[in-house]
């Protein structure tokens, strides 16, 4: 978007039936990024497709362990986030962990 900021805060949740998305996020509020333009993301609810959060079950934990073991063979691929680590994180935790991961990659 051609504006420096669109929202006054990082995340706005929407409960109105007339709004097709449940939240919008403007990540620059979290990162301290300085730029004359911005980007927002919107989350649309769906009962189909890929889940946005881990769904705990014995089957899913076993599947996650298989993927985790396979990921060791990919030293230049970095997995981060709720589904990549198979844990629920609040958004502040996600941003913090992502920034720490970036710093560790940057310094290698």
Write the pLDDT tens digit of every residue in 22-40. Answer: 999 998 998 888 999 999 9
Q: Is the pTM of this model over 0.85?
A: no
Could you tell me the CA-to-CA distances from 34 to 27, 94, 99 in Å, in that order?
A: 11, 20, 16
Write the pLDDT tens digit of every residue in 77-95. Answer: 988 888 788 888 887 888 8
Average pLDDT, the chain: 88
């Amino acid at each position: 978007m051609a504006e420096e900021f669109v929202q006054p805060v990082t995340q706005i949740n929407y409960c109105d039936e007339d709004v097709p998305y449940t939240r919008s996020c403007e990540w620059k509020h979290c990162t301290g990024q300085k730029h004359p333009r911005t980007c927002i993301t919107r989350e649309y609810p769906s009962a189909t497709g890929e889940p946005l959060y881990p769904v705990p079950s014995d089957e899913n934990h076993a599947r996650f362990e298989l993927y985790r073991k396979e990921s060791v063979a990919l030293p230049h691929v970095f997995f981060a986030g709720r589904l990549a680590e198979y844990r629920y994180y609040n958004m502040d935790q996600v941003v913090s962990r992502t920034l720490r991961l970036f710093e560790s990659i940057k310094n290698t």
